[in-house]
């Protein structure tokens, strides 16, 4: 077993397929496949399950990956400390619903990282895809929320996929609107107040369901609904159409400027925001630092940390 073989296995998991890993690792696909197969023969295990649809980590491969990442991280530290060699490109991936504090935490993480090369991934994506990313080890951490409405469904899905939810903070729902919106002067608003205005919601694709909605009170009837796929478009429509969306109330001036404001929504429900992990995979140093950054930003906004 060689260090290079360990790096090959990690690369396949990070890039999602042997084809893409071979391209990124500058090795031919047959050579990469043979190297992994040779490693499996040496260890007497199958690291990957192979089928016509591609490859996935086996149960033994999941455990092996955790150890392999630890070994490669330690080897990189040794090289940097004693051999003065150029460190390998650092890789880390996170998936999240559309939250400003998740972006700010990622910015802090990358800014603090002192490396010549890295390849980090931050996916602002759909709820079900966040769960799928963490399940398949495409992301180490996923960020989403639960409420009284969706908690039973999401908890069962996480349990079925052997994922763990760690609560971060609890927030009352707020609406995000333009600072020039007719309701901008209000201390709070009711759902009836919002009737004349378009409701902006992040579309959830083929897995569309009220339970996967990023916005609370998603089952309420509304006359005007616009589905969007990214945060920039949503905020442009908030300003241009006097639309609104529902979220935690956490806004960041650095990212959102002064044109978007948050106003409390009159509701008895709360949003329990947290992060999910696959416990079969030990978190990398970068993932642990990212969670620390998340907690720092959440506390900075005045919320009580729950874990």
pLDDT at position 273: 97
CB-based burial label for 12 (10 Å; 0-12, 13-18, 19+): buried
pLDDT at residue 173, rounded to an integer: 94
78 falls within a domain? yes
Q: Which residues contact 124 (CB under 8 A, 6 or more apart)?
A: 96, 97, 98, 102, 103, 230, 231
The reply to whether 84 and 173 lie within a common domain is no
Would residue 220 count as lying in a domain? yes
72, 88, 104: which is the final residue of a domain? Answer: 88
Q: Six-digit token pair at 108?
A: 């802090």
- Is residue 163 included in any domain, yes or no? no
CATH of the domain at 200: 3.40.190.10
Copy the structure tokens of residue 175: 């609406």
List the chain residues with pLDDT less than 50.
Answer: none
How many structural domains does the chain have?
A: 2
306 Cβ contact list (under 8 Å, min separation 6): 167, 168, 169, 170, 274
Task: Give per-residue burial for 121-151: e unless 16+ CB within 10 Å, then b.
Answer: ebebbbbbbbbbbbbebbbbbbbbbbbebbe
Residue numbers of the domain that contains 36? 1-88
Residue 84, pLDDT score: 58
Q: Is residue 284 a part of any domain in this protein? A: no
**What CATH number does the domain containing 42 carry?**
1.10.10.10
Q: Is 70 part of a structural domain of the chain? A: yes
Contact, 19 vs 29, CB < 8 A?
A: yes
171-225 pLDDT per residue, tens? 999 999 999 999 999 999 999 999 999 999 998 877 777 889 998 888 888 999 9
The encoded tokens of residue 10 equal 């990690």
- Give alpha helix (H) positions in 48-201: 59-78, 100-112, 127-135, 151-160
> Does residue 236 sit within a domain?
yes
pLDDT at 17 (0 to 100): 87
Whether residue 126 lies inside any domain: the answer is: no
In a domain, 14, yes or no: yes
User: Is the same domain home to 177 and 84?
Assistant: no
pLDDT in the model for residue 81: 63
pTM of the predicted protein model: 0.72
């Amino acid at each position: 077993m060689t260090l290079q073989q360990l790096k090959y296995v990690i690369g396949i998991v990070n890039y999602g397929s042997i084809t893409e890993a071979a391209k990124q690792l500058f090795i031919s696909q047959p050579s990469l496949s043979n190297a992994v197969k040779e490693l499996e023969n040496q260890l007497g295990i199958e690291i990957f399950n192979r089928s016509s649809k591609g490859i996935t980590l086996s149960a033994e491969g999941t455990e092996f990956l955790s150890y392999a990442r630890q070994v490669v991280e330690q080897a990189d530290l040794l090289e940097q400390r004693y051999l003065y060699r150029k460190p390998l490109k650092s890789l880390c991936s996170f998936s999240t619903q559309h939250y400003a504090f998740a972006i700010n935490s990622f910015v802090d993480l990358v800014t603090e990282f002192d490396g010549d090369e890295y390849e980090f991934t931050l996916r602002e994506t759909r709820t079900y895809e966040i769960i799928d990313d963490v399940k398949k080890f495409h992301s180490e951490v996923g960020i989403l929320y639960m409420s009284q409405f969706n908690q039973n469904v999401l908890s069962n899905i996480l349990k079925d996929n052997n994922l763990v939810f760690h609560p971060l903070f609890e927030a009352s729902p707020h609406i995000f609107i333009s600072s020039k919106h007719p309701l901008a002067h209000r201390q709070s608003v009711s759902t009836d107040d919002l009737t004349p205005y378009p409701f902006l919601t992040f579309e959830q694709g083929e897995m569309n369901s009220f339970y996967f909605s990023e916005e609370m009170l998603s089952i309420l009837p509304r006359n005007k609904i616009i589905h969007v796929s990214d945060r920039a478009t949503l905020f442009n429509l908030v300003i241009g159409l006097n639309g609104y969306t529902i979220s935690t109330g956490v806004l960041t001036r650095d990212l959102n400027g002064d044109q978007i404001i948050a106003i409390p929504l009159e509701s008895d429900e709360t949003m329990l925001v947290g992060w999910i992990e696959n416990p079969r995979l030990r978190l990398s140093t970068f993932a642990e630092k990212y969670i620390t950054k998340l907690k720092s930003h959440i506390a900075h906004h005045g919320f009580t940390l729950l874990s």
